[in-house]
């Protein structure tokens, strides 16, 4: 009898997970023809499929320009944070596109309705990172993108700053070492952890949900692992293979 109820509960949990999991395209939907990671083309491709959002990386150049690029290396530039914008704008991505400035990227993002999952890369702690956060928030507010943007970062301090400067914004911490309860105490309402953290701590998903927090997982590209995360009931799967994830979620419903 006990086993029967366990099976029912498990099925209910699986279904809840299956129905709720949404997909985030990692660095845009870049795995198509004439495309490149963190490009405007990748953002537009993500806008064409039913994903929840498109993730992108933001770095600030040495002269204070926010650009969409993973870094630190950017083609022939060894460290995008130490380069000037003048150097960055001469670089061409794999598909021939220029490196987008954040402003240009957001303008394109505003045309679609998917969420913009803004990853601020780690900058030197203190003044430089504070400036990167401040400029990011200023631009998001000026472009009235508060409701369409969510923030993620490996920098705990940057997450705290985003949460402080934009009350109500979804902020997710990326470095999976902190239990949900501890994050919440810092005012950070989301965790976006590497999948291995949820294999080690599957209980963190429920713990986070019970605390009213959001769970995202990166970067899940294999079907088997996607299914495992769907079954765990994560809210979002960040992936380089968004169409595979979408199909799998559909099938699990």
- What part of residues 39-98 is at the interface with Mg ion (CB under 5 A)? 57
DSSP string, 41-80: HHHHHHHTTT-SEEEEEEEE-TTS-EEE---S-BTTBS-G
Q: Judged by CB under 5 A, which stretch of 44-52, 87-95, 114-122, 223-231 contacts Mg ion?
A: 114-122
Phi, psi of 84 (to 5 degrees): -90, 165
Closest approach, Cβ 88 to Mg ion, in A, equals 18
CB of 26 to Mg ion, least distance (A): 7
Q: Are 16 and 206 in contact (CB under 8 A)?
A: no
Q: How far apart are CA 134 and CA 221, in angstroms?
A: 33
Which 3 state secondary structure label does DSSP give 101?
A: strand
Which CB, 28 or 233, lies closer to Mg ion? 28
Query: Cβ-closest residue to Mg ion?
Result: 119
Nearer to Mg ion, 119 or 235 (CB): 119
Looking at residues 115 to 134 of the shown chain, list those that interact with Mg ion (rule: CB under 5 A).
119
Both tokens assigned to 236: 């979002």
How far is the CA of 163 from the CAs of 35, 98, 175, in angstroms?
Answer: 33, 31, 16
Query: Which CB sits closer to Mg ion, 17 or 240?
Result: 240
Q: Hey, which residues between 130 and 159 contact Mg ion (CB under 5 A)?
A: none
**Interface size with Mg ion, residues (CB under 5 A):** 2
Helix (H) and strand (E) counts for the chain?
11, 9
The residue (of 57 and 235) whose beta carbon lies closer to Mg ion is 57
Q: Minimal CA–CA distance to 117: which of 141, 88, 144, 152?
A: 152
Task: Name the minimum Å distance from CB 63 to Mg ion.
Answer: 23
Cβ 55 to Mg ion shortest distance, Å: 6
Which residue number, 71 or 233, has a Cβ lying nearer to Mg ion?
A: 71
Where does this chain bind Mg ion (CB under 5 A)? 57, 119
């Amino acid at each position: 009898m006990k086993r029967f109820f366990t099976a029912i509960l498990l099925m209910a949990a699986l279904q809840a997970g299956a129905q709720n999991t949404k997909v985030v395209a990692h660095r845009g939907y870049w795995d198509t023809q004439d495309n490149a990671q963190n490009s405007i083309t990748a953002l537009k491709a993500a806008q064409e499929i039913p994903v929840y959002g498109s993730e992108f990386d933001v770095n600030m150049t040495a002269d204070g320009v926010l650009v969409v690029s993973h870094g630190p290396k950017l083609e022939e530039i060894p460290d995008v944070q130490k380069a000037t914008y003048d150097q960055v704008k001469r670089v061409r991505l794999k598909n021939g596109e220029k490196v987008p400035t954040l402003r240009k990227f957001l303008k394109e993002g505003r045309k679609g309705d998917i969420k913009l999952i803004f990853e601020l890369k780690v900058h030197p702690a203190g003044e430089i990172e504070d400036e990167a956060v401040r400029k990011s928030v200023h631009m998001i507010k000026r472009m009235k993108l508060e409701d369409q943007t969510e923030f993620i970062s490996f920098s705990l301090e940057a997450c705290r700053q985003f949460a402080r400067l934009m009350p109500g914004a979804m902020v997710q911490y990326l470095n999976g070492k902190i239990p949900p309860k501890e994050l919440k105490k810092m005012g950070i309402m989301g965790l976006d952890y590497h999948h291995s953290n949820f294999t080690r701590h599957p209980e963190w998903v429920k713990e986070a949900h019970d605390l009213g927090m959001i769970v995202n997982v990166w970067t899940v590209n294999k079907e088997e692992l996607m299914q495992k995360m769907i079954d765990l009931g994560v809210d979002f799967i960040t992936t380089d293979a968004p169409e595979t994830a979408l199909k799998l979620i559909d099938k699990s419903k």
